[in-house]
Amino acid sequence: MPTAMMDVRESEAALKQLVSDILAEAERQGASAAEVSVNEDAGFSVTVRKGELETVEFNQDRGFGITVYHGQRKGSASTSDSSAAAIKETVSAATNIARFTEEDPCSGLAEAQLMPVELPDLGLFHPWSLGTDEAEELARQCEVAGLAQDARIVNSDGAQVSTQQSCRVYGNSHGFVGGFNGTRHSMSCVLIGEDENGMQRDYWYTLAREPSKLESAQHVGSEAGRRTAARLSPRGIATGRYPILFTPQMAAGFIGHLIGAISGGALYRKASFLLDSLGERVMSEHVTLRERPLMHGWIGSAAFDGEGVATREKHFVNAGVVENYVLGSYSARKLGMATTGNAGGVFNLQVEGRTLTVDELLGEMGQGLLVTDLMGQGVNSVTGDYSRGASGFWVEDGAIAYPVDELTIAANLRDVYCDIVALGDDVDERGNIRTPSILVGGMTVASQ
């Protein structure tokens, strides 16, 4: 079985030259400005199910996104073919699109002075010298540990081990061409439990840039098994208003709704429940949302955004008050503001505030709902109305009592964000939004 995988670091110099060549081609075809983004990814994943090898998937992909400007007319096209003929044809396609679009006074490259002069080494590249046979064995150990966790774990949707490398290069006609390499390694396990009251399914995973920082196969499998068994024989509860404790995995999405509401696209379209909120308190006064894009080795680290603008540490919300919107250059111009270096989103958003241990959170909660899973898309970004299916655990006297499901939780997000009581000490570091558990004072809970 093949095990060799390309090292994307070998491609960076060639990709930078390709970006420069594409920019030169855009100029030859009459563009007044242009920008090019190239992503190259390589890796493999191995899946084992019920002790048998199920899939081995190798991937090696390269894609070019090309945008040209003719004055304030914009056209974009993409290709995966890096031949000279394909590049020329793709630039021509973008140029033809630009010629037939209306002028937009807000379109154009980000300002040249915002590009970074030097790119720091953020420690994002840590390849894993792992062959497919070794990956298969790790996946098998992971699944075995999960199935052994509880006699009621009766089936598996598989355990997977994955290793990925990426190289990203961005350049524009200001003369900026920058690139960086990164790695992501992961292991996951999905299990199915059953008892006299039916079946339940749950999972666990670990994700890191460095393979040494992954949780062990045994831990991932055991945690998946523990979580699955804990969900068996769920009950309903009486409809009412109760405190809600979001686990870190659920809290990331909860915070994501706020970030969406203070993002430029929603604001200039007037499709946000937090319009004109700059300088206003929108969260509990002890909660802060801090972006830390230059942290060494973190999942969301980047020295520049999707437009080549240098990233920097900042607060979006400081002590409950909106200090910055999330802006790229286009949305900033639409709002009469300056870009915050967030074209493409946020980078390492850290949720900070009054912190308790998880046991202390449960104690402060007393009685309420611990939410471990959310379903549906019941979030109105214009009004802030929030209503989603939920499952998790009922808490009595500050301790987890029993699993619950087929619930709906509802409130208006403006009220909920201002009703955050405290944060946990269990920060989930696996994503771009690094958040602990979040305790909210009250939401309406309806049982099916």
Q: What is the pLDDT of residues 45-103, one digit of tens each?
A: 999 999 999 999 999 999 999 999 999 999 999 999 999 999 999 999 999 999 999 99
Burial label, 91 (beta-carbon count in 10 A; 0-12, 13-18, 19+): buried
Closest by CA position to 352, among listed 287, 431, 429? 287
Mean pLDDT of the chain: 96
Beta-strand runs (E) in 50-176? 52-70, 73-79, 153-172
CA distance 280 to 350: 20
8 confidence band (pLDDT: 50, 70, 90)? confident
Q: Would you state the pLDDT for residue 377? A: 86
List, in order of start, the domains of the chain with CATH numbers: 8-230 (3.30.2290.10), 240-447 (no CATH)
5 confidence band (pLDDT: 50, 70, 90)? low
Considering Cα of 72, then 78, then 82, then 83, what sign does the dihedral take?
Answer: negative
Token digits for 341?
Answer: 């270096």
pLDDT (average), residues 281-293: 97
Q: Would you state the pLDDT for residue 10? A: 79
Q: Would you state the pLDDT for residue 1? A: 40
pLDDT (average), residues 390-402: 97
pTM: 0.94
Is the pLDDT confidence value at 3 over 70? Answer: no
Token digits for 131?
Answer: 């062959």
pLDDT (average), residues 180-200: 97
Decide: helix, strand or coil at residue 369.
strand
Q: Which residue has the tokens 């009251």?
A: 197
CA distance 417 to 440: 8
Q: Which residues contact 5 (CB under 8 A, 6 or more apart)?
A: 42, 43, 44, 58, 163, 165
CA distance 88 to 62: 17
Decide: helix, strand or coil at residue 215.
coil
177: left (phi over 0), alpha (psi -120 to 50) or beta: beta
Q: Would you state the pLDDT for residue 4? A: 53
CA distance 126 to 367: 45
Rg (alpha carbons) of the chain, rounded to whole number? 24
Distances (CA, A) of 423 to 244, 411, 430: 12, 19, 18
Decide: helix, strand or coil at residue 244.
strand
- Segment 329-341, tens digit of pLDDT: 999 999 999 999 9
Instruction: Say if CB 3 and CB 133 are below 8 A apart.
Output: yes
